[in-house]
Amino acid sequence: MTSTSVPTYEAIIDGKRVPATTTFDVLDPSTGAVFAKVARCGQSEVDAAVASARAAFDNGWGNASSRTRALACRRMAEVIRAHADELAELEARDAGKVISQAHVDVEAAARYFEFYGCTVEALYGETVLNRPDLLTYTLVEPFGVSAHIVPWNYPLQVAARTTAPALAVGNACVVKPSEDAPLTTLRLGELAIEAGFPPGVFNVVPGYGLEAGAPLSAHKGIDHLSFTGSREVGQAVMVAAAANIVPVTLELGGKSPHLVFPDYDRETTIPLIVESILEHAGQNCSAGSRVLVHEDVHEEVVAALVEVFEGFTIGPGGADPDLGPLVSAKHRDRVLGYIEQGKASSARLATGGGVPEDPALTGFFVQPTIFDDVDPDSVIAREEIFGPVLAVSTFASTEEAVELANDTTYGLAAGVWTQDIGLAHRLVRELQAGQVFVNNYAAAGGAELTFGGYKESGIGREKGFDALREFTRRKAVAIKVAGR
């Protein structure tokens, strides 16, 4: 595909499309072919976007009524739904999503704007009854300009998840999408204008991390920074924000466990464990990538998982197979490197372990893979692979299960599979994870349920009412009452 046969996407700054000096290629993960070119933003575009956001905030958006902001968010939800097919097709091609999952992501994006457009009007300060001679209360105020660095695995969802609450409470946003999948975030910036957000309230500056992400993270005009991505980049973002004493919200991934007890319900458990690791080819921060199974049911659980894995169809996202490609050749090779380390370890390769044999699959595909009898200290048990790779280990007691589950630097999610409600309540308390699911997994993980990690999985909370608090600060006010 030649450079003249593909569309070019420009940055969105101050409500307008803005070209950059140069562009970069966007590849279709299902084929490896170039299908778009995108503005390669740098310091000058970042400066312009931050200045635009500041002007929009200072000139009205920051002081707009909660109703004005709420209605804008609800209109945004309507506009996203009106463009659902377009956005889903773009997400499927850009990020390698299977088309049915892309449609789910579009609805999730709309739901975030709808949810915060409905809840922000219930965000109040408090009256503090401490002294009769003082009227004391708190004001809830936006930070000002919030920066949002969005990953490639769920670009539309995460862009909406982080910007919707920020906009709802009155911040103006500058969004930097991943260079691997920037297109739906750019389209979201265009739709924000259609929805009626004032120019400058929603800016999008695509580009490479060092050229656009780093300048945005370190920008002195930023008042709050939201980042979703790898732990290593998150640490760099946090250091940059610290130089300006800027608060951060970080979601940095996980190595989430399933704890399967002998009384598990096979009809429910097996499909949801499979879905939790193979959704978007395992490129999911909350992926249930470790299965800790009681030794009494170990063999039957592994056999059931292998049966489902080996029945999965693999293909281009637009064909709506069970499993699509990984996002890039670089990431595919990274995942295959972990698989080779698994093969070289004491673990048993139960299924998968390479790339599909079908020569028609020219994109970045990896077979769904299960390693059994995994040493809890091995690389594949401890590091986030971010691909369709499941590590299975056994336990003999509840105490051992908890110890294994918590023996990780991460703490994003966990699944518990048992009919013993007393045991379930105990495990909810003892597991070190920001979300714990009992006899389901991520089923309640929509806009309403708070989301965030323990340990190296991140700082702060997204989703739910907590996200509105995350993007606001409280001001204390004390007024002397006359005559007291």
| CATH number of the structural domain spanning residue 386 | 3.40.309.10
In a domain, 15, yes or no: yes
Q: What is the pLDDT of residue 1?
A: 35
Q: At what angle do helices 155-168 and 99-119 cross, to 10 degrees?
A: 10
Q: Verify that 64 and 144 share a domain, yes or no.
A: yes
pLDDT score recorded for residue 2: 40
171 and 88 assigned to the same domain:
yes
Active-site residue flag, 173 = no
Angle at 462 between CA 231 and CA 174, to 5 degrees: 75
Residues 146/224, Cβ–Cβ less than 8 Å:
yes
CA-to-CA separations, 353 to 205, 303, 343, 350, 387, in angstroms, rounded:
38, 16, 8, 9, 12
In a domain, 33, yes or no: yes
Do residue 157 and residue 131 come from a single domain? yes
| Residue 83 CA: distances (Å) to CA of 89, 96, 109, 188 | 10, 19, 12, 10
Q: Are residues 218 and 329 in the same domain?
A: no
What pTM was computed for the model?
0.96
With respect to residue 103, please indicate whether it lies within any of the assigned structural domains.
yes
Q: Do 130 and 159 belong together in one domain?
A: yes
pLDDT of residue 5: 82
> In the Cβ-directed half-sphere of 287, how many Cα atoms lie within 13 Å?
26
Range of the domain at 126: 3-252
Contact assessment for residue 476 and residue 136, using Cβ atoms and an 8 Å cutoff: yes
Q: What is the pLDDT of residues 44-70, one digit of tens each?
A: 999 999 999 999 999 999 999 999 999
Determine how many CB atoms are found less than 10 A away from the CB of residue 85.
12
Q: Are residues 79 and 218 in the same domain?
A: yes
Residue ranges of the chain whose pLDDT lies below 70: 1-4, 443-445, 484
The DSSP output letter for 6 is S
- State the DSSP code for 198: P
Q: In this structure, is residue 189 part of a structural domain? A: yes
**Domains contained in the chain, number:** 2
* Structural domain contains residue 468: no
pLDDT score of 443: 63
Q: What is the pLDDT of residue 146?
A: 98
**470 in a structural domain:** no
Residue 200 and residue 334 share a domain: no
267 and 374 together in one domain: yes
* 464 falls within a domain: no
Which residue is catalytic, options 10, 89, 190, 251?
Answer: 251
Do residue 118 and residue 165 come from a single domain? Answer: yes
Token duo for residue 54? 């500041």
User: In this predicted structure, what is the pLDDT of residue 129?
Assistant: 87
Residue 482 pLDDT: 84
| Catalytic residue from among 41, 73, 173, 285 | 285
CATH number assigned to the domain comprising residue 123 = 3.40.605.10
Same domain, 402 and 285: yes
Asked whether residue 265 falls in the same domain as residue 380, the answer is: yes
User: What does the buried/exposed string (b/e) look like for 113-131 if buried means 16 or more CB atoms within 10 Å of the residue's CB?
Assistant: bbbbbebbeebeeeeeeee
